[in-house]
Structure 1
Amino acid sequence: MIEPLIVEHLSDKLSVFVGLEHPDEKQDSYVVFEKTGSTRSNHLIGSMFAFQSYANSKFEASVLNQKVIDAILSLEHFNRVVSVKLNSDYDFTDTETKRYRYQAVFLIKHY
């Protein structure tokens, strides 16, 4: 499982809550992520993750999204991680909750 490494790494790099579920307490800004799929070949796992950056304004969400992108790309320095590829990132404002958010989707190959 690569998720604990991602949570720890993002928590070290960012000054906001990072988790697999939304925080219990209201936060102005935070990041949640989920695995959306995976593959396995020759003991190498390819995991697709969607990272959602929430903030009080579209600009703040976009800035947080860029910080998430930079932090996730730096995962390549870990021995368990073979490669990190940003597939896409985009405005993903939550129309139901009226919260600004951006989403970045990555393919992370790891052991």
Structure 2
Amino acid sequence: MIELILKQYLNGALDVPVLFEHKAGTDVPFVIIEKTGGSSNNHLHKATIAIQSYAASLYNAALLNNQVVQAMDKFDEIENITGAHLNSNYNYSDTETKNYRYQAVFDINYLQEV
């Protein structure tokens, strides 16, 4: 699964926990990975991945988001990953829970199910 490869990669590239879901009581900062879409054509795969950066302040969420974007610039160095392109990048603070977060969305291309 591309999500597992990405989680392992970000665990090594970032100094914060990398999760698949928000768990109550998790201390900030942390990052959540969510696959929001994908497609396949002639053994070439594409996944759209949202990476949410949570922190104690909007400024720190933006800094963590920047670290994520910088780390993702090198994700295509992983075997079978042919591209990781920033699709969008924005403040995504949760007004209901009052959690500060930024979200970066990436289009990831890969050769086979990794």
TM-score by length of 2: 0.92
Q: Does 1:84 align with 2:84?
A: yes
What are structure 1's unaligned runs of at least 5 residues? Answer: none
Distance in 2 (alpha carbons) for counterparts of 1:50 and 1:3: 11
Q: 1:97 is paired with a residue of what secondary structure? A: coil
Deviations 1:43-71, CA, capped at 9 Å, x for gaps = 01100011100000001000000111111
Question: How big is the shift at 1:26?
Answer: 2.4
Q: 2:74 is paired with a residue of what secondary structure? A: helix
Preserved contact between residue 49 and residue 105 of structure 2 (Cα < 8 Å): yes
TM-score by length of 1: 0.95
Question: How big is the shift at 1:24?
Answer: 5.2
- 4+ runs of 1 displaced by more than 2 Å? 23-26
Distance in 1 (alpha carbons) for counterparts of 2:30 and 2:105: 16
Preserved contact between residue 17 and residue 23 of structure 1 (Cα < 8 Å): no
Distance in 2 (alpha carbons) for counterparts of 1:53 and 1:38: 22
Q: Which residue of 2 aligns with 1:101?
A: 101
Preserved contact between residue 10 and residue 18 of structure 1 (Cα < 8 Å): yes
Aligned residues: 111
Question: How big is the shift at 1:42?
Answer: 1.1
Distance in 2 (alpha carbons) for counterparts of 1:4 and 1:37: 15
Distance in 2 (alpha carbons) for counterparts of 1:79 and 1:8: 13
